[in-house]
A and B are shown apart, each in its own frame.
Chain A
Amino acid sequence: MATIGMERINKVYMNGFHAVHDLSLTVDEGEFMVLVGPSGCGKTTVLRMIAGLEDISSGELRFGEKLVNNLEPKERDIAMVFQNYALYPHMTVAQNIAFSLKLRKMPKGEIRQKVEEAANILGLTEWLDRKPKELSGGQRQRVAMGRALVREPSVFLMDEPLSNLDAKLRVKMRTEVRRIQERLGVATVYVTHDQTEAMTMGDRVAVLKDGALLQVDTPQALYDRPVNQFVGAFIGSPAMNLYQAEMANRGRSLKLGSQVLTLPDTILVARPALSTYSGKQLTVGIRPEDLSARPHLSTSGNTLRCEITLVEALGSELMVHFTIDANLIQVEQVNSQEQDILSDKNEGVARLDPSVPVKAGDKLTLEVKLERLHFFDPTGNAIYD
């Protein structure tokens, strides 16, 4: 067992592409660290460098106290689960799980015992003599986990292990993977592009973009206090609504298009810097869940009038798409992935109670939880002081 310490790690490919910039990150013993970010952000490269499958261009990688930069993968005592599982197709499930133990020259009896134990935990006992191609996606996934389990590695790495499963199974396997990781009790790095997976699984989540680490924190802290516009928009589903707004009246009112929100003093006390933006443009972030419907069309300092363009009824809640006359800000690499093609680029989303009788085309007054607003300066950084 060991911690994983990354100190100013860089990866520059032979063609000059700088994939990872100065990454510093520590994963504690037993911690489940999720690396999340849009595709091409360098998260898999980081994982492969930890595994030893990719050279580290500069920086230090330590397992515990030991510098492992130049160790071969097999000398690092890691287990890794790949997106496509990489099960050996010509071996049975039992042989797949046993392969690494066999290479360690472990006695046969002990190997069998370990394989059976792992199969028991994973519910694979009756499939031990099958070949991978006879198994379902979920079972293959579990064989891949089993290979890691028997090795009792000091570091456990996973590269999008659930993305080849269908939606329902993926949700179920999230808890299974977590359970197995807790059983192993080792430092774990898990790569995904799915923020829901990151939020539900990680002890801590590291958000990467363009090869740089933007923020690393617990899921709740990421959600509550994103360091910038990108993290704010990337974490949370549906994504945060970001509007271009203008601060007025020494930070007491916020103009969104033709509408004005009156900010209570508490916000200005918590974030005195906001007053310096008076008369300037900034970005305001409103999470869909921080909006609620007002029964009447009355307006006040904490409401926005909008027109509904689409209603998605999910049973437990309504996703209401709406437009207001303020400019919606698109965050590169977030909205391109999450938003469907046909939706209006200027649509916001509110997560409303299903008892609200709304339909497309209606006018609606939305109440904004002002104390939950997020503010970002024109460069995209969050304003907290």
Chain B
Amino acid sequence: MSYRTRTSWHKWINPLNLAVLAVVLFIVLPIYWLVISSFKTPVNVGSFPPQYFPNPVSFANYGSAFSHYGFGKYFVNSLTVTVLSTGLVLVIGSLAGYALARLPMRGKAPLLVTLLVISVFPEIAVVSPLYLLMNQIGWLNTYQALIVPYTAFNLPFAIWIMRNYFLGIPKEMEETSRIDGASAIRTYWSIILPQARPGIFTAGVFVFTACWTEFLMALTLDNSNGFRTIPVGIALFGSPNVVPYGTIFAASVIAVIPVGTLVFVFRKFVVSGLTAGAVKG
């Protein structure tokens, strides 16, 4: 029997690889279509047969997103709301997660289950009461109208992720630190947090993405032009008679960039953060 050392192309073709290829195409093709269409001229967006590569390449859609539709403002709004919400979630959530992982506490299990239930609660059920509430306290069309609910809604999930990560850090770390003479806060800050970074980044990436793409609350609570976030902004592009597909594509591409960058930069942490506790080490 002889062994082939060279991998030939037909060896590459097997059910597993084909399945992977199908999945990749399924995900990548729409993104490819989104990106290339954003560079097409308005006429070519809907042309038949479709253009697989924009010809001519046009940046007009990007220009019009900013100049005609105030996309810059939406971007700033989204960034403000998302960054502040994510920051709040991480600060509160990491402390809560640490407490739930470590402190002796009555009713810990029911609390954790409650958090889990809240985190899968459908948004649509609370939007109406939330609207009335915000209206009462005069928060409609403000940043905090989104920041506060975003923080609240993303906390449970973030607490769960971070708690699991804290659980994986050996208890002896805190004990050694206590013996070394560190206060509880110092131990948390200098010993625990640095080790929990992957978990915190993971939670951060997920919360950022969730806030960045949130639509329903943003539409209901912050619908004035000055506070509109990207998802709502893009949805309201154009007029009842004109749907500027090219501009929508261009704005979408820009909207994907922060999230994509974040995931790319922290991809290693995200994987390790999600599998925390599965393998000790």
Contact = CB atoms under 8 A, between A and B. Distances in A.
B182 A84 contact: no
A80 B181 contact: no
Given A88-B191, A90-B195, A147 B172 contact: no
Count chain B CB atoms within 10 A of each CB in A53, A72, A79 and give the residue with the most: A53
B181 A74 contact: yes
Given A104-B181, A147-B180, A88 B173 contact: yes
A370 B152 CA distance: 79
A86 B175 contact: yes
Nearest to A90: B194
A51 B180 CA distance: 11
A74 B180 contact: yes
A99 B172 contact: no
Contacts, number: 52
Interface string B109-141: 000000000000000000000000000000000
B175 to A, nearest CB: 5
Contacts of A99: 177, 180, 182, 190
Contacts of B181: 74, 100, 103-104
Interface string A69-94: 00011100011101010101110000
Contact of A100 (B175, B180, B195): B180
A50 B177 CA distance: 16
Interface residues of B, number: 16
B176 interface: yes
Chain B interface secondary structure, helix, strand, loop or mixed? Answer: helix
Contact of B173 (A53, A73, A86, A147): A86
Given A86-B170, A90-B195, A80 B182 contact: no
A78 B191 contact: no
Interface in A47-79: 51-53, 72-74, 78-79
B172 A82 contact: yes
Nearest to A48: B175
B176 A82 contact: yes
Contacts of A80: 175-176, 179
A53 B175 contact: yes
A84 B172 contact: yes
B186 interface: yes
B68 interface: no
A80 B180 CA distance: 9
B178 interface: yes
Question: How many A residues are at the interface, by size bracket?
Answer: 20 to 34
Contacts of B194: 90
Contacts of B176: 80, 82, 86, 88, 147
Nearest to B173: A86
A99 B179 CA distance: 11
Contacts of B180: 74, 99-100, 103, 147, 151
A88 to B, nearest CB: 6
Contact of B178 (A53, A79, A104, A151): A53
A49 B213 CA distance: 52
A89 B196 CA distance: 11
A90 B181 CA distance: 18
A103 B182 CA distance: 7
Count chain A CB atoms within 10 A of each CB in B177, B179, B180, B195 and give the residue with the most: B179
Nearest to B172: A86
Contacts of A100: 180-181
Count chain A CB atoms within 10 A of each CB in B173, B175, B181, B191 and give the residue with the most: B181
Contacts of A90: 194-195
A7 B169 CA distance: 35
B191 A72 contact: no
Contacts of B170: 84, 86
Interface in B21-65: none
Contacts of A103: 180-182, 186
A74 B178 contact: yes
Contacts of A53: 175, 178-179
Given A74-B182, A78-B179, A147-B176, 7 more contacts: A51-B175, A72-B178, A73-B175, A74-B180, A88-B195, A90-B194, A104-B181
Sort A-B residue pairs by CB-CB distance and give the 5 closest, nearest first.
Answer: A86-B172, A100-B180, A74-B181, A90-B194, A86-B176
21 contacts: A51-B175, A52-B179, A53-B175, A73-B178, A79-B179, A80-B176, A80-B179, A82-B172, A82-B176, A84-B172, A86-B172, A86-B176, A88-B173, A88-B176, A99-B177, A99-B180, A99-B182, A99-B190, A100-B181, A103-B186, A151-B180
